[in-house]
C-alpha cells in the first residue's frame, strides 16, 4: 500500500514532535479545501511532490481553474497543464486516453495516474452559466464522478482542490471522497459538508495558516498542521512536479 506524507499531527507538533499523517494512494479520490491564505497551495505542492518522488511511475494532469497556482507549468513543453476553461480538455485527456482504456481493458498499463482539479466547482459554474457550454459542464461532472467512483481499481485518482467546497459538487462526490483535508477557519456549513461535525473531537476554535482537519481513509479525524517550507523547498517541489506532468 503506497502512502505519502500529507501533514503533521498538530497536537504533537505543539509539543515539538513532528509526527506525519499519510495519504493512502491506493484510495480513490481526495478533497483539499481552504480559503485564500490557509496554506492550501503549499500543501498541494508538497503533496504532489511527495507522490512524484515516492511513486516512480506516477503521472499527473493539472487542471488549474484559477490559472494561477500552477501557471509556471504553461511554458513547459508537452506538459499536461490545462488552465481555466481548458480544464475540460484536461478531463477529456485523462478520462479518454487513460481511464477509459483501462476500464475497457484495452491496455495493460496500471501506472499511477492522478488528475488535479483546481477550483473545479468555480469552472463548472462558469460553464453552466452559458447555454453553449452548459453541456460541457455536465460531461465534466460525469467524467469526474466516473473516475472518483471507479478509478481505484485502475490506479486512476482524483484530487479536487477548492477554496470552499460547494454543496452542488460535494453531493455528487461525498461518498467517493476517501480523504478530506480542510485548512483554516471553517464555517459551520463547510465543516458539516466535510463530515467533520459527526466527530466528537472536532472543534473549530483554533485556526491559522497551515492548520486544519484531516479525515483519512480510515474515517479518523485528526487535527493537523502543514510544515513550514522555504523557497528552496518550493523550487524542488516544482522541479519534481514538472517531471510528473511531462513523463
Domains of the chain are 28-223 (3.40.50.300)
Tell me the torsion sign for CA atoms 97, 71, 246, 4.
negative
Mutual angle of helices 87-94 and 120-128, in 10-degree steps: 110
Cα(203)–Cα(30) distance, integer angstroms: 22
Q: How many CB atoms lie within 10 A of CB 50?
A: 20
* SS3 call for 186: coil
Strand partners for 221: 215
pLDDT in tens, 79-96: 999 999 999 999 999 999
Q: Which helix (H) or strand (E) holds 244?
A: helix 231-246
Which whole number is the average pLDDT over 144-152? 92
User: Bridge-partner residues for 21, per DSSP?
Assistant: 7
| 167 band by pLDDT with thresholds 50, 70 and 90 | confident
At 107 the pLDDT is 97
Report phi then psi at 70, rounded to 5. -120, 20
The CA R_g of the chain, rounded to the nearest whole Å, is 17
The overall average pLDDT reported for the chain is 92
pLDDT at 177: 85
Model's pTM, two decimal places? 0.94
Neighbours of 83 (CB within 10 A): 20
pLDDT in tens, 31-50: 999 988 899 999 999 999 99
pLDDT-derived band of residue 208, with 50, 70 and 90 as boundaries? confident
pLDDT of residue 170: 67
Q: Which of 144, 223, 146 is nearest to 181 (CA)?
A: 223
- CA 66, 194, 12, 203 torsion: positive or negative? positive
Amino acid at each position: 500500500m503506497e502512502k505519502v506524507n500529507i501533514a503533521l499531527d498538530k497536537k504533537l507538533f505543539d509539543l515539538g514532535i513532528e509526527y506525519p499523517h499519510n495519504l493512502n494512494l491506493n484510495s480513490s479520490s481526495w478533497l483539499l479545501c481552504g480559503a485564500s491564505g490557509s496554506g492550501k497551495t503549499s500543501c498541494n505542492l508538497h503533496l504532489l511532490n511527495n507522490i512524484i518522488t515516492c511513486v516512480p511511475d506516477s503521472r499527473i494532469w493539472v487542471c488549474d481553474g484559477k490559472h494561477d497556482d500552477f501557471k509556471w507549468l504553461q511554458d513547459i513543453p508537452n506538459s499536461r497543464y490545462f488552465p481555466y476553461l481548458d480544464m475540460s480538455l484536461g478531463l477529456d485527456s485523462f478520462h479518454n486516453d487513460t481511464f477509459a482504456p483501462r476500464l475497457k481493458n484495452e491496455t495493460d498499463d496500471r501506472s499511477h495516474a492522478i488528475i488535479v482539479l483546481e477550483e473545479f466547482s468555480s469552472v463548472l459554474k462558469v460553464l453552466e452559466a452559458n447555454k453553449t457550454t452548459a453541456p460541457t459542464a455536465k460531461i465534466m461532472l460525469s467524467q469526474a464522478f466516473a473516475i472518483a467512483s471507479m478509478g481505484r481499481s485502475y490506479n486512476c485518482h482524483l484530487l479536487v482542490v477548492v477554496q470552499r467546497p460547494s454543496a452542488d459538487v460535494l453531493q455528487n462526490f461525498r461518498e467517493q471522497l476517501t480523504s478530506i483535508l480542510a485548512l483554516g477557519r471553517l464555517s459551520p456549513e463547510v465543516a458539516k459538508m466535510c463530515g467533520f461535525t459527526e466527530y466528537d473531537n472536532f472543534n473549530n476554535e483554533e485556526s491559522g495558516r497551515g492548520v486544519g482537519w484531516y479525515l483519512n481513509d480510515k474515517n479518523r479525524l485528526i487535527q493537523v498542521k502543514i510544515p513550514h517550507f522555504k523557497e528552496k523547498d518550493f523550487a524542488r517541489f516544482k522541479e519534481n512536479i514538472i517531471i510528473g506532468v511531462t513523463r
